[in-house]
Amino acid sequence: MRTFIAIELDEAIRTRLAQTAEALRGAGCKVRWVTPERMHLTLKFLGEIEPAALDAVAGAMATAAAGAGAFEIQVAGLGAFPPRGAPRVVWAGVRDPEGQLAALHGRLNEALAAAGFERERRAFRAHLTLGRVKERRGAERLRRRLDEQAGGEFGIQEVRELVCFRSELSAHGPAYTPLRRQPL
């Protein structure tokens, strides 16, 4: 089964992000926008795993969460990957002023590596994917709208748990099912 570990977003933040995505639709660029119920902050994409591996994943989540308490992140800013030229991914930024999210990600990465999962080699850049650009037509207008709204603020959220999700792909988009929850 296809899995990932993430932080669920508060409904108020998802609503504000969806409103912003709706405003960006007017740029005329073909983008597959993430629906509000599918918005989350991915900490680690695990890919295809066997159901028997869920216990190891849950153990790694518990190890990463050990000694960590709830903390706050701020969802603010808009941008795209790559940072210049035609955008491929539209994102909202995540601010981690105390570095607790980055530390949690690091502990999770190490605990999963100790459990036999591949270690993430790229630097962690916390962001929320809002959409994936499907065509270049209208990309310049989309980039301009993103630049105009780059300072958007979407809310502050308390991070209280990690969630391991199953992702089932379909023609209507992915469906996410929580498999394990780990409180901080």
Q: List Cβ neighbours of 65 (8 Å cut-off, separation of 6 or more).
A: 104, 161, 162, 182, 183, 184
- Point out the catalytic residue in the list 40, 44, 105, 166: 40
How far apart CA 86 and CA 132 sit, in angstroms, is: 12
| Residue 66 per-residue DSSP state | T
127 is catalytic: yes
Residue 153's H or E segment, with its range, is strand 153-159
172 is catalytic: no
Only one residue has tokens 């300072």, namely: 151
- Cβ neighbourhood burial of 168 (10 Å; 0-12, 13-18, 19+): exposed
- Point out the catalytic residue in the list 16, 127, 145, 166: 127
CA distances to 66, 76, 143, 170, 175 from 80, in Å: 34, 13, 8, 25, 24
Active-site residues, by number, are 40, 127
